[in-house]
Amino acid sequence: MIITYATHFAFICFALAILMNLWKIITAGEIADRILALDSMFINALALMILYGIALGSEVYFEASLIIAMLGFVSTVAYARFILRGNIIE
C-alpha cells in the first residue's frame, strides 16, 4: 500500500518534471538549453517507465528503459555535435 502511494508520488514528481522539461524545450532561448531539456525528458521518461514496471509488477517495460538509456544519449550528442561541427560524422 505504501508502495502504491510512493509510486504515485514519484509518478507525479516525474510527470511534473517532464512538464517542466517541455516548458523549457518550447520556451528556451538557447538551443543548448533545449537539447538539455530534451535529454532530461528522456531520462525522466525512463524513470516513468520503470515506475510503470513497478506499479504493474511487470518486466516487459524494462527494455524500453534500457534503450532510452542507451539511445537518448546518442541523439543528444548528435544534436550537440551538429551545433559544434555541423557535420556529425566527420
Partner 1 sequence: MSMTFLNIEFLVASAVGLLTAAGIYLILRRRTFPVILGLSLLTYGVNIFLFASGRLMVNAPPILNKYAEVPYTDPLPQALVLTAIVISFGMTAVVVMIALAAYLSARDDKIDMPHHPEDEGEDA
Partner 2 sequence: MFYEYLIAAFLVMAGLFGFVGSFGLLKLNDPMSRLHAPTKATTLGVGGVLLASMLHGAMIEGDPSLHELMITLFLFLTAPVTALFIAKVHIHRHETRQSLPKAGEDGLWATHDVAETAPETDKT
Partner 3 sequence: MSLFLIAALPFLGAVFPALLIRAGRNASASAAGLTTFLAFVGLMLHAPAVFRGEVIQVGVDWLPALGLNANFFLDGLGFLFATMILGIGLLIILYARFYLSREDPMGQFYTYLLLFQGAMVGIVLSDNILLLLVFWELTSLSSFLLIGYWKHLPEGRQGARMALAVTGSGGLAMIGGMMILGHIAGSYDLSVILQNKDLIQASPLYLPALILILLGCFTKSAQFPFHFWLPHAMAAPTPVSAYLHSATMVKAGLFLMARLWPVLAGTPEWFYIVATTGLVTMLLGAVIALFKDDLKALLAFSTVSHLGLITMLLGFGTKIAAVTAVFHIINHATFKAALFMSAGIVDHEAHTRDIKRLGGLRHLMPVTATLAIVASLSMAGIPPFNGFLSKEMMLEETVHTLWGGSHYVVPALALVAALFSAAYSFRFIGHVFLGKTRDDYPAKPHDPGFGMWAGPALLITLVILIGLFSAKLAGPLVAVAAGAVIGGAELPYYSLKLWHGLTPALYMSAVAVIGGLILLKMHAPLMRAWNAAPRPEAKQIFDAVMRTLTKLSQIVTDGLHNGAITRYAFLMMLFIIGISYYAYSTGTVATPTRDVQAIGAIPAIAWFCLVVATLAVVAKHRQRQLSLVLIGVVGLVVSLGFNYLSAPDLALTQLSVEVVTMVLLLLALNFMPKDSPVEAPMWVRLRDGGIAVVGGLGAAALIYALMLRDFALPSISEFHLANSYKGGGGTNVVNVILVDFRGYDTFGEIIVLGIAALVIYALTEAVLGTRVRAYLLNRKPDMPQAGDAHPMMMVVATRVMMPLALMVAAYIFFRGHNLPGGGFIAGLIAAIALLMQYMASGFSWASERQRMFYHGTIGSGVLIAAATGLGSWFSGSPFLTSAFGYLHWAPLEEFEWATAALFDLGVFLAVVGAVLLALESLARFAWQPGISSEHAMDINPARDDAAEAAEGEA
Chain positions contacting partner 2, by CB under 8 A = 1-3, 5-7, 9-14, 16-18, 20-21, 23-24, 30-33, 35-37, 39-40, 43-44, 46-47, 50-51, 53-54, 57, 59, 62, 65-66, 69-70, 72-73, 76-77, 80-81, 83-85
By CB atoms closer than 10 A (0-12, 13-18, 19+), residue 37 is: buried
The position carrying cell 532510452 is 68
Give the integer Cα–Cα distance in Å for 55 and 59.
11
The position carrying cell 510512493 is 6
The position carrying cell 517495460 is 61
Residues 6+ apart with CB under 8 A from 83: 31, 32
32 binds, among partner 1, partner 3, partner 2, none (CB under 5 to 8 A by kind): partner 2
Residues that bind partner 3 (CB under 8 A): 11-12, 15, 18-19, 22, 25-26, 31, 34-35, 38, 41-42, 45, 48-49, 52, 60-61, 63-64, 66-68, 70-71, 74-75, 77-79, 81-90
